[in-house]
Chain A
Amino acid sequence: MSLKSSTLTKADAIIAQYPQKRSAALPLLHLVQADRGYITQDDMAWVAEKIGVAPMQVLEVVTFYPMFRQSPTGRRHVKVCRTLSCALRGSYALMESLEKSLNCPRGETSPDGDFTLEFVECIADCGCGPVVQVDHALFENVAPEKAGEFTQQLKASLKDANYGKAAPAPGTPEWNG
C-alpha cells in the first residue's frame, strides 16, 4: 500500500512553494487522496514528517475538512448539493430518487461498491440547481424528474474504460463548472 513514486516526487516541489513547510499540509493531503482515494494513518505520518509536525497535527487537519476521507469510497462518489438554492429546485426529491435507483442510502456506499452517495453543502453553482458533483465532474440542473436518466448515465460510466482519464476539455460542463 505504498504511494506512487510520482506522488513522492511531487511532494518536494509542493513544499518548496511555501515560505513555511507546514503550509503544504492541505496540498499534500490532496495529493495523497488523489493517489490512494483516501488517507491512512501511515500517510498522515508521512505528511507529518515531510512538513515537520507531529502526526496528531495532521490528523486534526484531516478531521476538520469535509473533503478529506479516511476510508475508501465507491467507484463513483456522488455528491448532491443540499443547501437552500439547490433544495428549492428539488435536491431532496432527487436524493430520495437516487437512493432507490443506486441502491444506496445517503451517507453510505452501495453493497456492490459502485456508488457512494452523499449530501454536501453549497458547491457554488447555485443558479443551476440541483447540482451534483460526481468525482470531479459537475452536473447541473439535475431536476428530480431527470433522476432516471442521470442514474443511467452514472451506471454507463462504470463500463467506460476511459472514465476520468482524459483531462476535461474546455467547454465541457466539468471544465466550465
Chain B
Amino acid sequence: MSAVERPLIYANLRKPGYTVDLDCYIKHGGYEALKKAVAMKPEEVCKEVEVSGLRGRGGAGFPTGMKWKFLDRKSGKPCYLVVNADESEPGTYKDRQIIYKDPHQMLEGIAITAWAIQAKQTFIYIRGEFQHGAQILENAIAEAKAKGFLGNNILGTGYSCDVVVHRGGGCYVCGEETGLIESLEGKRGYPRIKPPYFPAVLGLYNCPTIVNNAETMAQVKHVLAFGGAEFAKIGIPGDSGTHIWGVSGLVKRPGLYEIEAGKATFGQLLYDFCGGPLEGRTFKAIIPGGSSTKILKFGERFKGKLPNGQEFDWALEDIPLDSNSIAACGTGLGTGGTIVIDDSVEMIQALSNLNAFYAHETCGQCTPCREGSLWLSRVSKRITTGGGLETDVPLLLDIANQVAGRTICAHGEAVAWPVQSAVPKFKDEYLDSIRRRKNGEEVSSVKLI
C-alpha cells in the first residue's frame, strides 16, 4: 500500500493564494481553537494537551503536556513562555515554512499555550538570519493584537500576554534551551547546568519558564481544534500527530513531507515521496533526524524489541516513521531532517564536514567539547588531505567517547554521536580512504570539506 501525506501543519500554507494576513487565516478557521481554549480553565487546556500525547518537535521529543506540568507554581514568581524558533540543526528546515507562510498558526498555538500556563510574557527567539521572518511575525503579532487575540485582555478574558520577537545572532548552541535563555538575557549563549537550572523552575530571569519549539506551538493549535482525545488518534499510541520530514541531500525530490506518525516507512519516504536516488546512484546511508542523530546504513539489519514488547527485524527501508521505532533502531527521530547520502560520497568527507560544523559551534565552556570537537575536526580533515594514519580511525572513536556525557549540555553528545555511530559502520571505508590517499590514487566524490 502506498503511503500518503496528511498535512495538518502545512495544510493551509500549501494552498495557492494563501497569504500571511490575519484575514486569510480567519477565513481558514483561524483563532477558533483559541476561542475554545479561553472558554476552558487553563488547567483544562493543559489536560487536553497531556491527553493528546503530543511530543515536542524540537528534537528531544519530550511530551509537551508533561513539560508544562513541571512548572514551578509555588515560587510565586511570574512565568514565561519562550518559543524556540532558532532552527539551526543541520538538515532541519521545517519551522521556516510556518514562520514565513503561516505565522498566525504558530501565534494561535502561542496564545493557547500562554493561556494554559498563564505566562506573563512570551518571547519568540528566532534565528538572526530569518530577518524577514522576524518582520512577518511582528506584522502578524500587531494584527493579532488589534483583534484581541494577543496582547491586552485577550478575547475579553482579562488575561494579557505580550509577545516579543527576539532575533538571535547565528549561533547553533542557542537552540539549546538554557543557552537560548542566557542569550535572551543578553549574554553569551552558554548553556546552564541542570540541576539546578531546569527552565521550568529556574529559567528566564530565574523565573519558571517553558521553552517550546515553534512547530510544537502550531501542533498545540490542532490539539485544541481536535480535542486532546481525538488528536491522540492521529498517528500511533505513544507518538501522536504528524511529523514533518525534511529530506535533503542526494535524492531525486528533496523536500518537506508531512506524514502521520508511524504511517509510512523510511523506504516509502525515500522512494515514493522523494523519488529514490539520483540517476545511476544507489543509497548508502541516511542521517535520520538532523545531523546530531546517529547515522543508519543501507544493508544493516535492525533487530530488537519495541517499548510495547513487539519484536522486530527490519531493513532500513522497513523502519516505521515514529519516534519509538526509530529510537529502537539506535538513533532518533530528532527534528525529522533526513540527510541522504549515496554511493558517490566518500564517507570520511561527510564525517569531516559535520565535525567542522560542531567544532565551529561549540560554545567553549566545557573542555571535553571545546577540545574534542576541534580534534575530531582536525583528525578527520587530515585523512581527507592524505595525512591520515590507520590509527586515526580508533583515535576518532576514542576522542568521541571522551566527549559524550561529560559536558553541561547535549552539544557534547551532538559532537560525539555522528562519530560514534559512523566509525563502526564505515571503518573499512575510512581505512580504504587513508590507504588510497597515501598511494595518491584518485578519489571521486563530491567535495565535502
Contact = CB atoms under 8 A, between A and B. Distances in A.
Contacts of B256: 127
B225 interface: no
B129 A67 contact: yes
A26 B166 contact: yes
A54 interface: no
Interface string A114-139: 00000011111111110001001000
A23 B184 contact: yes
Interface residues of A, number: 51
- Chain B, interface size category, equals 35 or more
A127 B254 contact: yes
Given A30-B167, A124-B88, A176-B101, A22 B186 contact: yes
Nearest to B133: A177
B100 A175 contact: yes
A99 interface: no
Interface in A8-25: 17-20, 22-25
Contacts, number: 174
B231 interface: no
B80 to A, nearest CB: 9
Nearest to A141: B254
Interface in A147-177: 167-168, 170, 174-177
A146 to B, nearest CB: 16
B129 A133 contact: yes
B362 to A, nearest CB: 12
Interface string A71-100: 000000000001111011110110000000
Contact of B186 (A23, A93, A174): A23
B129 A123 contact: yes
Interface in B341-390: 341, 345, 350, 353-354, 356-357, 360-361, 363
Interface stretch (B51-59, B244-252, B261-269): B244-252
B353 A168 contact: no
A61 B185 CA distance: 11
Contact of A61 (B100, B164, B166, B187): B187
Nearest to A131: B93
Interface in B156-190: 162, 164, 166-172, 183-189
A129 B133 CA distance: 19
Given A88-B448, A121-B90, A176-B100, A127 B247 contact: yes
A150 to B, nearest CB: 18
B256 to A, nearest CB: 6
B185 A23 contact: yes
Contacts of A45: none
A125 B447 CA distance: 20
Contact of B93 (A29, A66, A125): A125
B90 A122 contact: yes
B131 interface: yes
Contacts of A170: 19-20
B447 A88 contact: no
Given A126-B91, A136-B132, A26 B188 contact: no
B22 interface: no
B446 interface: yes
A107 interface: no
Contact of A84 (B97, B130, B132, B291): B291
B188 A60 contact: yes
A27 interface: yes
B191 interface: no
A127 B248 contact: yes
B219 to A, nearest CB: 19
B102 to A, nearest CB: 11
Contacts of B127: 124
B448 A92 contact: yes
B92 interface: yes
A65 to B, nearest CB: 3
B91 A177 contact: no
B93 A126 contact: yes
Contacts of A27: 166-167
Contact of B447 (A17, A60, A92): A92
B350 to A, nearest CB: 6
Interface in B52-109: 87-93, 95-97, 99-101
B339 A126 contact: yes
A67 B186 contact: no
Interface string A37-74: 00000000000000101000100110011111000000
22 contacts: A18-B164, A19-B121, A20-B185, A26-B166, A65-B169, A67-B129, A83-B291, A84-B91, A84-B350, A84-B448, A88-B248, A88-B250, A88-B340, A88-B345, A122-B357, A124-B93, A127-B247, A170-B20, A176-B101, A177-B99, A177-B130, A177-B132
Given A85-B339, A87-B448, A168-B132, 18 more contacts: A19-B205, A20-B186, A30-B167, A51-B186, A61-B186, A64-B171, A64-B188, A66-B169, A85-B90, A121-B90, A121-B360, A122-B92, A124-B92, A124-B93, A126-B93, A126-B339, A175-B136, A177-B96
7 closest residue pairs by CB, A with B: A65-B169, A25-B186, A126-B248, A85-B248, A22-B186, A67-B170, A92-B447
Interface of B: 19-20, 87-93, 95-97, 99-101, 121, 127-133, 135-136, 162, 164, 166-172, 183-189, 205, 246-250, 254-256, 287, 291, 337, 339-341, 345, 350, 353-354, 356-357, 360-361, 363, 446-449
